[in-house]
Amino acid sequence: MTSYVRVAGILAVATTGCASVAPLDNPIVVRPVVANVENPLLVSPGEPDANGYAEVYERVIDVLDDYFEIKPTSRYAGHIETFPHIAPGFEQPWKAGNPDHRERLIATFQTMRKYVIVDIWAGERGGYKISLEVRRELQDLERPNRAINGGAVFREAPTVDRRNEVIPTEVSSSYGWIPVGRDYALEQQLLARIRDCAIFKR
């Protein structure tokens, strides 16, 4: 009998484990390990001039339009914004826009969209500074897209209203979106592409 009690005690201790460190009350934000590029980024060292600004502006546009659609703006405003773009998940591996695997996993199960805000201005000691932010938003719907009355259909319901409708691929701007911070991994990827341009390596 005592052997059974000993075996049960050993199994209980082995399966429960113990906590060696108390959990943190305020855990820190852990960002993915990516290339360390300064933000804002200093490019084209030297005296700012019209040609230098044009090169910087065109390079930023060239990098951004590989990922997003650019909003119409004046090139002399020093401000660039993009239209929101639905973030691809693991089901769309051919689409760029989520270099971090965690972000891509979230986008697989949640509808996320991202957009970019860029500001360009002359640096204090020459060159131009580029501040780039990739902002994320989570879609907030009152009910699923295809819901008609907002209620569930239970077995006691006599009929089910089946309508053949085409669901548009683009997301209407009337839907609600919740800001959920920035995508630092994509910011670093975009800034690294801007920095590594040949015209900035003089």
Work out the mean pLDDT of the chain and round it to a whole number. Answer: 76
Instruction: Give the residue-averaged pLDDT of 142-152.
Output: 57
Q: What's the residue count for the chain?
A: 202
- 26 pLDDT higher than 70: no
Instruction: Give the residue-averaged pLDDT of 35-53.
Output: 79
Q: Residue 98: how many CB atoms within 10 A of its CB?
A: 25
User: What is the structure's pLDDT at 33?
Assistant: 47
Cis ω for the linkage preceding 40 (within 30 of 0) = yes
Higher pLDDT among residues 81 and 139, named by residue: 81
| Residue 116, phi then psi, degrees to nearest 5 | -120, 140
Instruction: Give the residue-averaged pLDDT of 123-129.
Output: 85
Confidence of residue 118 (pLDDT cuts 50, 70, 90): very high
The full set of domain ranges for the chain reads 45-144+181-202
Instruction: Give the residue-averaged pLDDT of 188-192.
Output: 91
Question: For residue 117, what are the β-bridge partners?
Answer: 81, 133
Instruction: Give the residue-averaged pLDDT of 52-64.
Output: 90
Q: What is the secondary structure of 98-135 as a DSSP string?
A: --SHHHHHHHHHS-EEEEEEEEEEE-TTSSEEEEEEEE
Instruction: Give the residue-averaged pLDDT of 159-183.
Output: 66
- 17 pLDDT higher than 90: no
Q: What percent of the chain has pLDDT over 90?
A: 20
Residue 139 three-state SS: strand
Instruction: Give the residue-averaged pLDDT of 96-101.
Output: 80
Instruction: Give the residue-averaged pLDDT of 196-200.
Output: 63
In the chain the first and final C-alpha atoms are separated, in Å, by 83
From CA 169, how far away is CA 153, in angstroms rounded? Answer: 26
Enumerate residues 6+ apart whose C-beta is below 8 A from 46: 52, 126, 127, 202
- 183 pLDDT higher than 80: yes
pTM (2 d.p.): 0.64
**Options 3.30.310.80, 3.40.50.2000, 3.40.50.620, 3.40.50.880; which CATH number does 45-144+181-202 get?**
3.30.310.80
Specify whether the CB–CB gap between 133 and 117 falls below 8 A.
yes
Enumerate residues 6+ apart whose C-beta is below 8 A from 163: 148
